[in-house]
Amino acid sequence: MFPVLEAFEIERLRRFGEPRTYRADEMIAKAGEANHGLHLILSGTADAMQHALSDPGEVFVTLGPGNFTGELAHLSGQPGLVDVRARSHVETLVILPDRLRALLIAEAELGERVMRALILRRVSLIQAGTVGPVIIGRAGSGDVLRLDNFLSRNGHPHQRLDPETDAQARALVERFHIDPSQLPIVLCPDGEFLYNPGEIELARCLGLVSPVDPERVFDVAIVGAGPAGLGAAVYAASEGLSVVVFDCRSFGGQAGASSRIENYLGFPTGISGMALMGRAYNQAQKFGAQMVIPAEVDALEALQDGMFQLTLSDGEHVRTRSVVIAGGARYRRLAIQNFDSFEATSAHYWVSPLEGNLCAEQEVVLIGAGNSAGQATVYLASRAAKVWLLVRGPDLGARMSRYLVDRITGLGNVEVLTRTSLTGLEGSNGALATVRWRQAGGEEMQRSIRHLFLFIGADPNTDWLAGSGIALDAKGFVLTGKDTGRVSGPLESSVRGIFAIGDVRSGSIKRVAAAVGEGAQVVAAIHAFLAETAAVRQ
């Protein structure tokens, strides 16, 4: 996590940075402020410490000659998460984010050590839970869960405090005269308070997303940061294309919500979806892909000069030479009376440690029969007292991989009910209390259940394509290749220069590996299209 570079290694890095000096007790970096680059210490010592609004925070580590500051925020140019103060007179070599990315590529061996350290430091900060924004609100609040999930899915360290059980949170609420009805609030590292913010508002406060340069024209814009979108970003950026990636919520898509993926090539013991997608996200940034997350794309249009324009929900416009639609699908909601009142607090579309802690030692209901449902069932069985797995069809193995069926069959606290439909939900104030279901030909059953998990499929995320001229199939998925009725590549839509990959594409194979493969495949088609259009312009 804190490697010490040798003198000859430091010399190899000098061309990527510029020297700076700091006096004793001078701040080298401050959490929440603009990212001024990674500092390689040449002489003197500096303390990396927890950010505090008043008194100096706890020191994490003291850095000396050959050490360097920073973590993953320094790769993307986002504001830092910790304070760094010079303990003595310090001389550093500051390496700005764009030069850091150049270093990682040009100095492969050294770059690997630097990249590993940045990743391990971010993981450590997430596990410590003592840096980043502070969410203050009741533990069972739907908005607290929403904000907690948003930051967790984006791999951003944060704290969550309940004023009903935490003295520090209670004192903060009283000090600033915050009415309980105004909770949750978020205290950002720069001291700003946000009252129950939306995800984009919170992201802008934390510096996770910034406006896209309106004068820049990208080679390719990718809409969706799931396995397909990230796969395309890694391959396109590594081959020298200028890439911008948009996602309305977080990187990873539905795959990022998977508790464990065991059939992905190269991971015989399995890997969590968040870990796999986090690696891809960092890899894309290493090669220079610009990530704009969260940002919602509202419209796509072809311009008269042969370019394409994306319109974001905040009114921003982005110009690009080609577009890859990788927006995946939206979770399918349950068509049952009063479902909306439980959706924010008690009904969940993914399983993470957060949801695992919420339902620990309780009975839960999970609806679904695909691999995602199977993976979630296995994970929940390790935390919950009992899992009721409701399957609409006659056989659990019809859509689920055999290894998951066998594993579920061997779990003593999982009961599989086939030919079963949910019939009712009861509760109050957004908190689920009772779930009812009925098996075919049987009587209705009722259980005291506080958490419901839904893995009932998804609908294509293509509403934003209305008016773009892109052909969709009867279910709303994007038609590609020969299905468009014209001669085109297998991943190209009905509009030349616009491609579709992953779950959003009609006829796609709904597997992580297939999505990543299409992400790699589409880059060759983009190169061919850009070469063709460049020749026409000449």
User: Looking at per-residue confidence, does 296 or 534 come out higher?
Assistant: 296
Residues 361 and 395 in one domain: yes
Domain match, 123 and 139 both: no
Q: Which structure tokens are listed for 500?
A: 């579709």
Q: At residue 168, what is the residue type?
A: Q
Domain contains 148: yes
The CATH number of the domain holding residue 69 is 2.60.120.10
Residue 294 neighbours by CB distance under 10 Å: 23
pLDDT at 55: 63
Residues 398-416: what's their mean pLDDT?
Answer: 95
264: left (phi over 0), alpha (psi -120 to 50) or beta: beta
Other CB atoms within 10 Å distance of the CB of residue 394: 9
pLDDT for res 53: 58
- Domain stops at, among 178, 206, 234: 206
Measured distance CA(452)–CA(380) in Å, rounded:
11
Does residue 226 belong to any structural domain of this protein?
Answer: yes
Query: For 35-58, what is each residue's pLDDT tens digit?
Result: 889 999 999 999 999 987 556 688
Altogether, the residues listed in the chain come to a count of: 538
pLDDT tens profile 465-516: 999 999 999 999 999 999 998 888 999 999 999 999 999 999 999 889 999 9
In this prediction, residue 54 carries a pLDDT of: 56
Looking at 456, 476, 505, which one is the last position of a domain? Answer: 456
List, for residues 281-335, the tens digit of each pLDDT value: 999 999 999 999 999 999 999 999 999 999 999 999 999 999 999 998 888 888 8
* Reported confidence tier of residue 433, pLDDT bands at 50, 70, 90: very high
Domain presence at residue 487:
no
**Cβ-Cβ contacts under 8 Å for 516 (sequence gap 6 or more):** 227, 228, 230, 231
Which candidate, 73, 59, 24, places its Cα nearest to that of 44?
24
| Averaged pLDDT, 258-266 | 87
pLDDT of residue 327: 92
d(CA 97, CA 78): 9
Q: Confirm whether 2 is domain-assigned.
A: no
Is 200 found in the same domain as 115? no
pLDDT at 329: 81
Q: Check residue 334 and report its DSSP letter.
A: P
- pLDDT at position 133 is 94
Q: Do 102 and 30 fall into the same domain?
A: yes
Q: Are residues 407 and 516 in the same domain?
A: no
Is 274 found in the same domain as 361? no
C-beta separation of 187 from 173 below 8 A: no
pLDDT of residue 522: 98
Same domain, 325 and 250: yes
Name the pLDDT band for 384 (thresholds 50, 70, 90).
very high
Amino acid at 470: I
Cα separation, 444 vs 92, whole angstroms: 70
Helix (H, G, I), strand (E, B) or coil at 462: coil
How far apart are alpha carbons 322 and 496 in whole angstroms? 9
Residue 414 in any domain: the answer is yes
Instruction: List pLDDT tens digits, range 355-370.
Output: 888 899 999 999 999 9
- List phi, psi (to 5°) of 459: -105, 150
Name the pLDDT band for 254 (thresholds 50, 70, 90). confident
Asked whether residue 276 is domain-assigned, the answer is yes
Token readout for 311 is: 């319109």
Of 185, 206, 227, which residue is a domain's last?
Answer: 206
401 pLDDT more than 70: yes
Q: Report if residue 482 sits inside a domain.
A: no
CA angle 89, 91, 92 (to 5 degrees): 140
Which residues, including other chains, have CB under 8 Å from residue 298's CB and lie 6 or more apart?
A: 311, 312, 313, 464
Q: What is the largest CA-CA distance in the chain?
A: 80
In the prediction, which pLDDT does 438 show? 96
188 & 230 share domain: no
Please state, in angstroms and rounded to a whole number, the distance separating the CA atoms of residues 171 and 169. 5
* 274 and 197 in a common domain: no
Query: Domain for residue 173, yes or no?
Result: yes
Count of structural domains, the chain: 4
Do 360 and 313 belong to one domain?
Answer: no
Q: Which residues pair with 364 in a beta bridge?
A: 387
369 and 449 assigned to the same domain: yes
How close are the terminal C-alpha atoms of the chain, in Å? 51
- CATH code at 154? 3.40.30.10
User: Each residue of 58-75: pLDDT tens digit?
Assistant: 899 999 999 999 999 999
Q: Are residues 224 and 178 in the same domain?
A: no
Find the CATH number of the domain harbouring 402: 3.50.50.60
Averaging pLDDT over each range in 16-25, 159-168, 265-274, which range is the top one?
A: 16-25
Does the pLDDT value for residue 260 go beyond 70? yes
Asked if residue 265 has pLDDT above 70, the reply is yes
Q: 318 is in which domain, residue-wise? A: 217-330+461-468+494-537
Give the mean model confidence (pLDDT) for residues 207-227. 94
